[in-house]
Each structure stands twice: as structure tokens, then as C-alpha cells.
């Protein structure tokens, strides 16, 4: 079956690649416009605190989903990998649980080995951070990025290419989004008379090579999560994405974000351990998906071997 995705005319392959790139461009545009114009819009309506953070996030999601709906030509979003409420909740919890457990195992082992030392937790501040971060991170990054990239871009590529090629190409498109979004954000900020932020492939203060390596590992992990479960698979990758952001912002940036808990000593080591727990997540979902596909094949083979009703009597 995989060969059927590869063969055919070059134009169709080029069209699939073009649609995938369009998905990346949609995300970069939405993220750039949201982060460039969102703060000005929040100031214009007098928003502050959490509401001021929600304005850019909501703008990113609104733009990304609207543009994907236009590119998807009004087809149901379920075809991108969304499912019904029940299946979506199960898939989201699967993604979130596997990621949280992998992070706890790796970071916990490092803590037990004396590589990391944590601050004393502030339960109230931590609970407030978890609630606010969940909403902002979902709207600013997890939902729009998974819809545009592991949803629209992945679906466009998978209709033409095999699984490995689709995974690599989707991740390559993912790599382009941060840099392009900074260009869009700078232009949008200048339109409203605000100072443009830095333009580059990585967020300010991060090493570009380290960041791109992390994006590659993260992108492949998200593809592994997206392809593991058959029902509402996009919600699995959304669960992974949101939990990844939450864990990292607590462990690596918790002090600056007033999260109520953070790595007090060994933050650099914790950063190096992030790809380790991501690879563990990817491995779990790769094995999970393989097991599901094997059971499906065995079930199909068993159904073929079963005699049809009346078949024995007909032979007689």
C-alpha cells in the first residue's frame, strides 16, 4: 500500500508538497500576525494580565483555523485527524499522560542522581500557572500548530507519499515556521508603530543549532504521536505538544514565569534531557502504533479466513 503513495505523476507530488508548505506558511503567518499585532490589540482594549496574553493567542488560533478551513475547501476538520468528543478526550489524555510520565521518569532520575535540584514548590502559584498556561499555550501554539502541520500538511503529504517521507517532510516544514514567523511578526509590529522583535530561526537568547535540533526531535515525536492511534489522532499530538510546553516552562523557565516550581540548579542539564524524554515518548507511540496496526492486520486476516454464512451448505 505504501507504494501507491509514491507512484504517479510528478505534478501530484509537487502539489502535495506545495499544500504542505502552504500549511506551514499559514502557521507562520498566524503566529507572526498574532504576536506582532496581538499586544497592540490588547493595549487598545485595555487588557492586562492573563487577558492580555490571551488576545494574541486567540488571534493566532482564529487566523490559523480560518486559513486552514479555506485551504481545506470547507471539508470537515475531522478529516484532518480530529474526532468526536469521546475519542478526542481519550486521545488527548493518551498524549498528555505518556509525555508527562516520560518527563517524570527522565527528570526524576536526574534529580535522584543529584544532577537537578528543584525549588520548594508553591502549590497555589503552581496551580495558577498550570491553568493559565494550559489555555494560552493551547491557543498560541499547540492547537494551531497541530492543525496546520500534523493536520493539514501531514494529510497533504500522506495522500501522495509513504509514511517515512511524510514524517520527514512534515518535520522539515515545521523547521521553517519559527524563522518565517519572526519576519511576519516584525512586519506586523511595524505596521502598528511598535518595535519589531528580533528576526531569526530561534527565539531570542537560544542557540540556533540547539533549537533546530530540538525542533527536529520534537517534530518527529509529534508525528509518532499523531500516527499511533486511529481515532482522533490529532488530539494525541495536541496532548503531547501542550504537556511538552508545560513541563519545559516549569523546569527551565519556572522562575521567570513565576510558575511556583522550577529547577534551581542544573537547568542546563535539564535542557539537555528534554530530547531524551522526547525520544522516549516517540518510542512509546511508535511501539503502540505498531501494535495497533498488527492487531488490525491479524483481525482482517481472521475475518477473511472465517467461512461465510451458508458457505458450508453451498459446498454440500
Question: For the residues of 193-256, what is the DSSP string, one character each?
Answer: T------SSS-TTS-HHHHHHHHHHHHHHHHHHHHH-SSSHHHHHHHHHHHHHHHHHHHTTTTT
What is the reported pLDDT for 139? Answer: 98
Cα(304)–Cα(289) distance, integer angstroms: 23
Using only C-alpha atoms, the chain has a radius of gyration, in whole angstroms, of: 22
Task: Please report the pLDDT score of residue 8 as a whole number.
Answer: 41
Q: Report the C-alpha gap between 48 and 61 in whole angstroms.
A: 20
Please give the pLDDT value at position 26.
97
Tell me the C-alpha distance between 21 and 14, whole Å. Answer: 10
Strand partners, 117: 265
Q: Distance between CA 119 and CA 169 in Å, rounded?
A: 40
What pLDDT is recorded for position 1? 34
Position 201 scores a pLDDT of 86
Sequence-distant (≥ 6) Cβ neighbours of residue 138 within 8 angstroms? 57, 238, 242
> Can you give the pLDDT at residue 191?
92
Under-50 pLDDT residues of the chain = 1-10, 312-316
- Give pLDDT, residue 266: 95
Contact 33, 26 (CB under 8 A): no
pLDDT (0 to 100) of residue 4: 37
| Interhelix angle 163-191/10-44, nearest 10 degrees | 30
How many angstroms separate the most distant Cα atoms in the chain?
87
53 contacts 200 by C-beta, under 8 angstroms: no
Amino acid at each position: 500500500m505504501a507504494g501507491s503513495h509514491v507512484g504517479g505523476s510528478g505534478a501530484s507530488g509537487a502539489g502535495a508538497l506545495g499544500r504542505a508548505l502552504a500549511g506551514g506558511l499559514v502557521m507562520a503567518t498566524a503566529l507572526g500576525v498574532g504576536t506582532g499585532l496581538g499586544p497592540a490589540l490588547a493595549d487598545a482594549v485595555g487588557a492586562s494580565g492573563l487577558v492580555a496574553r490571551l488576545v494574541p493567542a486567540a488571534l493566532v488560533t482564529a487566523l490559523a483555523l480560518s486559513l486552514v478551513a479555506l485551504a481545506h475547501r470547507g471539508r470537515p476538520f475531522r478529516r484532518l485527524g480530529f474526532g468526536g468528543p469521546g475519542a478526542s478526550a481519550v486521545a488527548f489524555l493518551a498524549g498528555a499522560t505518556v509525555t508527562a510520565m516520560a518527563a517524570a521518569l527522565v527528570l526524576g532520575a536526574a534529580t535522584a542522581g543529584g544532577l537537578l535540584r528543584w525549588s520548594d514548590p508553591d502549590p497555589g502559584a503552581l496551580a495558577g500557572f498550570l491553568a493559565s498556561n494550559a489555555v494560552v499555550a493551547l491557543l498560541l501554539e499547540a492547537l494551531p500548530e497541530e492543525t496546520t502541520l500534523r493536520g493539514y500538511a501531514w494529510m497533504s503529504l500522506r495522500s501522495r507519499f509513504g509514511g517515512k517521507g511524510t514524517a520527514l517532510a512534515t518535520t522539515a516544514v515545521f523547521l521553517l515556521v519559527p524563522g518565517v514567523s519572526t519576519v511576519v511578526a516584525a512586519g506586523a509590529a511595524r505596521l502598528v508603530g511598535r518595535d519589531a522583535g528580533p528576526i531569526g530561526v530561534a527565539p531570542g537568547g537560544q542557540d540556533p543549532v540547539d533549537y533546530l535540533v530540538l525542533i527536529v526531535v520534537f517534530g518527529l515525536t509529534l508525528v509518532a504521536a499523531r500516527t499511533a492511534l486511529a481515532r482522533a489522532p490529532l488530539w494525541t499530538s495536541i496532548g503531547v505538544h501542550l504537556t511538552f510546553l508545560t513541563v519545559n516552562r516549569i523546569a527551565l523557565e519556572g522562575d521567570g514565569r513565576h510558575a511556583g516550581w522550577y529547577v534551581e540548579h542544573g537547568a542546563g542539564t535539564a535542557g539537555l534531557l528534554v530530547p531524551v524524554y522526547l525520544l522516549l515518548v516517540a518510542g512509546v507511540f511508535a511501539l503502540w502504533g505498531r501494535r495497533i496496526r498488527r492487531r488490525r492486520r491479524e483481525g482482517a486476516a481472521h475475518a477473511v479466513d472465517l467461512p461465510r454464512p451458508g458457505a458450508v451448505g453451498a459446498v454440500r
